[in-house]
Structure 1
Amino acid sequence: MRAERGKTPADVINVLFLGTEQQLQAAFQEAGWALADARSFGADLKALQASLRQSGYKGAPVSLLTLHGAAPDLVFQKSLNTFAKRHHLRLWQQSTTYEGQTVWVGAATHDIGIASTAEGTKWFHRIDPQIDRERDLIKTDLLFTGVANGYTLVDRQEVPRNTKNATGDELISDGKLLVLALGPAKPEASQEH
């Protein structure tokens, strides 16, 4: 399963979560991730400024990739103090459930730099070709926070081990899908002094 940019195959679906939207938001917030801002003129201007200043933009928007024609329902990212480099995850809620839990599938990649088209009219992020590293970072981040009930890696023989995304970046993977079940959000620390 692949996300698409237009009709061109893009990122590989490499994660699946079981849990509610609230559980996802709480888990990623606890792990230091933020929701990405929606694309707009203001957000794009802020992204350009961050790029020129070589600074971070915690909620920087991501380009639109679709799954079966649908935009992501949630997008999380973890800034690395520069707009050029960040971790991000696009998530699509599925219509099916598993044992009463909501199913979310996602594509996780690590932006490692910025490139432009040959004409210089469009710019985009380059990603780390070793996409399993990003999948494993998400697993580690969420397990470390204690919000995950458990995980497994599911082998998928049909997933290509070496392919390219919509901008021509190489994608190398073992083909496994991270399946992670989320537990209840951690109780907030007492505000009493």
Structure 2
Amino acid sequence: MAKPALKVPAIGVSRAVLDTVWDRLFFLVGGVSAVWLSYLLLRLSFEWGWAQLWFAFVFWALLAYLVLPRLHRILTRLYVPDYFIGRARTSDGLLGDPVNVALLGSEAQIHGVMRRAGWTIADDVTLASSWRIVASTILRRSYDEAPVSPLMLFGRQQDFAYQQEVDRNPGKRHHVRFWRCYPGWLLPGGHAVDWLAAGTYDRSIGFSLFTLQITHKIDEDTDDERDHIVSSILDADPTAEVRMIRDFSTGYHTRNGGGDTITTDGDLPIVGLGRVEVPSDAAGHPASDSRNKRPGPTIVGALLAGARAVAALVAVAAGFLSPDELLQGITIQSDGDSSLTAAQSEMVLYAGLGFVGLVALGELLLAWFVFLGSNRARVTAMALSTLAIAAQAIDVLNGGSLATLEANLPGLTLDILLILALSSERARIYARRDRKEPKRDSTRPGGRAAF
């Protein structure tokens, strides 16, 4: 007797497929548009003259933080495996740091033992924390809670990270990222764990070999950092246990996503925290889940959409306050030869300004929904920017003047930045997260036997 076919809700599948198609389209549009913007800036630089040295900085920033990361992301989707291979991935899709620690236990137990071991939880990456770490690095001031860059595992960034600053220098620190494993997920070889972690030691500040971005440079021997993490946990709580999986992965000598050389022997310690006491202040603390943390690209995309709306509202207000210039430009003809009366011209002008104002208010509301994480608002905002970019590209292909292009360059740049931000993987994951998924109890000890 044949088994009945598994029925899948058609609406849910078609919507998921459509979302994937839109995401891929806007992802590609963002990459192509970023390359085009780089070309336009390079072309205009010869018109403006190389004496303006600030252009070199602008071009580097555009290349390092927009163009190269998006090109890497497009290419790595083709040739970098998207399954677990013992390596985290950068937001650009490049292979990052090795996963070198596994843990059995609850989130609360990890927080408790890490604090007792002298580690400090890292701040999330925000505009404020990013500015603070830049200032701390330049001024050589301590920043114990300095954020760490996001790395991806299981299709999401780390749930939280801990660090230890060295010699009160933000450029040197021990740090480790933690990811919660999905229920029932097993390591290769059938080993059950609750958490995976990737620990490395930052030795200095430098430039990334692959993206030219300013980043921390890590020490080559990642096994030393792995052993430091494990020993600090054991020293802080003797009830913790460790079992080593020898040759979990092949020992290798390679580079991480920043271009730094890394080496490892391939061994993986499993740290059992089943007997570690849960801190009393952990009661009722919600479980950490990076998918529920509003990422930087979503915030930037919402701000850019809001800026576009505010610019339109400012233009409308200027039109209402000083309508003379706009009225002079209205040359609408009636019956081919008679002009509109002054009253009719004013009516047309104010109706047009009112319409633009309503659209701007709608876009301001759209920006708010983007900020809240609405996937429909995210897709709509990217669609509007894509139309604006396409209109500009068509004008250039039809021989539009360089002066017009220069005048429209700020708006074009804003639209390209918006697409790059909202089509990023972190923004997509946040907008498409399952809001109905129940939160796990972070105080509940790991349900698996330690050893």
- TM-score normalised to the size of structure 2? 0.39
Greater fraction of residues in helix: 2
Amino acid at match of 1:179: I
- DSSP 3-state at the match of 1:83: strand
Deviation at 1:96, TM superposition (A): 3.3
| Structure having greater relative contact order (Cα 8 Å, sep ≥ 6) | 1
Quote the Cα distance in structure 1 between the aligned partners of 2:107 and 2:266. Answer: 26
Report the counterpart of residue 153 of structure 1 in structure 2. Answer: 244
Spell out, residue by residue over 1:7-31, the C-alpha distance to the aligned partner (whole angstroms, 9 max, x if none).
2101000000111000000000001
For 1:122, the equivalent position in structure 2 comes to: 213
Deviations 1:156-186 (A, max 9, x none): 3533421110111111111111111113237
Q: Structure 1 residues 121, 130: CA separation in 2 closer, same or farther (over 3 Å shift)?
A: closer
CA contact (8 A) 2:151 2:158 kept: yes
Contact kept? 1:15, 1:135, Cα under 8 Å: yes
Structure 2 match to 1:191: none
Q: Is the Cα contact below 8 Å between 1:129 and 1:171 reproduced in 2?
A: yes
User: Who is 1:92 aligned against?
Assistant: 179
* Aligned equivalent of 1:184: 276
Cα root mean square deviation, aligned: 2.2
Paired residue secondary structure (2:129)? helix
Per the alignment, residue 63 of structure 1 pairs with 149
TM-score (norm 1): 0.88
Q: Structure 1: which 5+ residue stretches go unaligned?
A: 189-193
**Percent identity, aligned pairs only?**
29
CA drift at 1:102: 6.1
- In structure 2, relative to structure 1, the CA distance for the partners of 1:27 and 1:186 (3 Å cut) is same
* Equivalent residue in structure 1 for 2:116, among 30, 39, 55: 30
Residue ranges of structure 2 left out of the alignment (5+ in a row): 1-85, 187-191, 281-451
Paired residues, number: 185
Relative distance call for 1:130 and 1:73 in structure 2 (3 A) is: same
- Give the drift of 1:51: 0.2
By how many angstroms is 1:152 displaced? 1.7
The structure with more strand, counted as a fraction of residues: 1
Larger Rg belongs to: 2
Tell me whether 1:46 sits opposite 2:137 in the alignment.
Answer: no
Tell me if 1:169 matches 2:260. Answer: yes
- The answer to whether the 8 A contact 1:20-1:102 is kept is no
